Every structure is written in structure tokens, then in C-alpha cells.
Structure 1
Amino acid sequence: MHRRRRTSLALMAATLLAAPLLTACGDDARPGAAAVVGGERITVAQLEAQVGQTRDAQVAVFGEQGYADALDQQCSAARQAELHQRDEAAAQGEKVVAGRETCAPDRATLAGMISERVVKAAADEAGVRPTRKDLRERRVQLQEQTGGTAEQLEEAYLRTYGIPASRIDDHLGYQYRLDGLRQKYAPGSSPEQADQRVRQELVRTAERLGVDISPRYGSWDGEQLLMVAGSDPWLSSDPRRLGEEKAEARSQSQAGGLPAL
């Protein structure tokens, strides 16, 4: 049971559980921002620094070829996450749109940065707040599962998630919050039911916060909860900013011609 739950949450961690399909907002008042979540900017400099930090750490440990192999592994995990999400949507009779871009390091990193903020906001609202003791205990448990040493845990995180040692605690906190949300909103449920309930809460939270994304990195599809290509000056999670007809036209244009993963 616990192993299945960890696997399912890992799939969730590979995608942003975000807001409805994004539509354009007005003038660009966010120079230098890759995204804005709840009024808080994620700057291009912050994003590029995190991407560079990860690359430098992977090259230092695995070499250039190892870095390329790690990207392949992470891309494969993203594809699995997409298939998982699409299967869930199809099973519920929802429209499934092909064509996603989830493997580029900058897009994947930005998705993670936004996801962390959405999950934290939902967890704060639910009263789920990990302590340092909680994170230490989780680190010890994971260290035992990955061979018993801190170095083995750090290598596993770097290879599997593309997360350097300095950010492991951040990711542990992210997973702790997801687990806490499952326990809060779906106690005793199956992993699939719990994931669906948590997803609903995160969609609601993202809608409340508002998520704006620079078209340099794409936009968010709230139906599939995945990143897609975009071309508007700025894209927003607030559907009130454009009429439904224009939003639908944009949705159809974005769905066409994109590379399937």
C-alpha cells in the first residue's frame, strides 16, 4: 500500500496539478519573470540558476554522458506521468488532447517550481506543515531505501528527480505536504482515489492563487494538468480575462501540431 502511494505521488510530482486552461491577460507588467504564482514572481534568473545548478551537479557526478542519460531517465518519468494522467482522464470520460512538451529542462524545472508553490499553499490552508524533525525522519527512511549512506541518497535524487543535494529537503517537504493532503482529504481511500481528491484541491488552490506563465516556457492545460506550448504575450489561469469563445479557439490551436510524448 505505502509503496503504491509513493509511486503515485512521484508521478504527481512530475506534473503541475494546476488551474484551468490558461488564457491571455493584458499588458506585460512582469519583465524578467518566468511565471507569477499568487502574485509572487518566479524570475528567469531564478529559473536559470536552478537549471544550471542541477546540470552542474549532474555533470560533476555522472559526467557529460551521465547527464544526458539522467535527462533521458527524467524525460521517461515525465512521459509515464503524462500517460498516467491521460489514462485517468479517459477513464472518467474527459476529453484527452494529444501533444505535450514536458521534457525540456527549463520547462520541467519551472513546472516543479510552480507546483511547489501550489502544493505549499494548499497544505498551509489545510494545516499541513512539516517540521525539521519530520524531514529528518523522512531523509533517514529514504537513505535506508537507497543503500544506507547520504551519498547514495543524494545520487539517487540527482539521477531520478534531477534534484541536487542542496534541494533534497525542499523535495521532502513537498512530498510530506502531498502525503498530508491525502490524509486530510482522503483518509482510508485507495491511492488512486486519494490522488484524485488531492488533485481537486490543488486545482482549486491554483485557481485561487492565479498562475501566469511567460510564453517562452509554454502554458498550462488544466484539463490534463500538463505543460503545453503557448504563443500569447502572457498566459493566465484566470478565465475571466477573456471570453469563452476566444479561450476555446486558443485551446484548439494549442492542441494541434505539438509533438506527442
Structure 2
Amino acid sequence: MAINWDSVSALLIQLQSRAVEFGLRLVAAIAILVVGRWIAKQLRRTIKRAISRTPLDPNLVSFTSNLAEYGITAFVILAVLGQLGIETTSLLAVLGAAGLAVGLALQGSLSNFAAGLLIVFFHPFRVGDWIEGAGETGFVEDIQLLTTVIRTPDNRTVIIPNNNLMTNNIINYSAKGVLRMELVVGVAYSEDLDRVKAVIAQALEQDERILRDPEPVIGVMALADSSVNFTVRPWVRPEHYWPAYFAAYENIKKHLDAAGISIPFPQRDVYLYQRSERI
């Protein structure tokens, strides 16, 4: 069988032309990818610097800048695929169908993601706040797209799904910047009430963590069975709450002792009757 060298030569020329064309397309695609990624990173940094100068939440700044980078990167990838001759329309349809299937399988994660967006945009709490939610209490260490990380007073790390927080009540102890402590101090009925109030006020003044404005409230709360009970309500910063709480009771006790004011405790008088029996 004779070989048609003219046909082989034409085929080689065609393959060479196709290879050169594909090589040029590949070089152009790589260039688009490199330049596009550089533009995406620069845009992220620019947006982050610009938004950082505004009084927006830091989590919103990070989320917006990252979202801009991912969006530009997605367009760059589509441009690279188009440059390589890949039909992006059918690819997008396949990706859309796959995304729908994955979305149905990950409904819980999507609800946590949506809750994370609500936290980022509406910030019911911020990093560093002392909150109570989903049955846990602690300081917020990190707000992620799916979970929120808090540190409890006993130094445990608790990771809470965002949806659990947003579908339950959230108590933000740090939102107003100050918290009110409530102490109960009982003294004997025989003590002078005005003198007791003055001694308690003096004890509170010894702690710099207790705020002068708002002014502490000291008043008689109840006339109990064995004592006159005072309610003591000083104000502190959220981060000082527990140290100041414990110190307040200790200082009040020491000042009452130094002033000779007695703190009664429940007592019960027992009377014994002896009955003589006749035989």
C-alpha cells in the first residue's frame, strides 16, 4: 500500500497550526489568570483600606473585601475557560444543577451561612462582647460564616452554629458599655440605717472599677425576719463585672466590721419544758 506523502504533510502542517494556535490560547489564558488574580488581590486590598476608614464593623470589612476578590476570581476563571475554547454556557448549567443538589444536601450549613450574613451585617454582637445565647455564656472570640466561637468564664471554647444563635434570644451584656451589679446586705434591726448606707458607700468608693456615673444606688429592700436587707446596685464595665462583684462583698464586710455594724444570721430560740409525771 503506497503512502500518500502529500496527505501526511498536509496533516502535519494542520496539526502544527492547531498546536501553535492552542499554544497561543494557553499563553493568553495563563496571562489572563495571572493578571486577573493580581487585579482581584489589589481590589481586595483597596476595598479593605477604603472601608476600614469608615465606622463599619471589622467583620463586615473583611467579608466585603473577600467577597469582591472571590467575585473577580470567578469572572477570571470564566474568561480563562472561554480563551481555551471551552463552552462556558453548558458548564454553567452543569454547575448550577450541581449547586442545587449540593444546596439541598447542605440545608443546615446554608442556614448557618445565612445566619452568619445576618450577624455580619446587623451585628447583634461583635468580637469581644460578653453574650448569652444558645444556652451558653461567654466572650465572643470569632465570628465565622458558619459558626461563632465564644470563650466561657471558665476558659472553655464553645463553637456555636450561627443559626442556633439567630433563632434564639441573645443577651448582649456589652452592648450598652456598663452593667449594674445587684448585692444584698443584711444588718441588725438595732443599727442606724443612715450610718449603714454611709459605710456601704465608703466601701464601694474603695474600688476604682465601680463607676461614679451612674451613681450607685443603696436602699432598704426588705424588713426580713432577722435583718434589715439593703439592696446595693453599683455600675461597672462589662469586663470588670465578676472581679468587682466579689471584691464589693468583701469590702462591704470589712467596712461593716470596722464600723462595728453587726450582720445578723438566722437564730431560733428553743424552750424546754419539763413535765413531772405522777405515778
TM range (shorter): under 0.3
Compare the two structures and name the one with the higher helix fraction: 1
Higher relative contact order by CA 8 Å / sep ≥ 6: 1 or 2? 1
More strand by share: 2
Q: Which has the larger radius of gyration?
A: 2
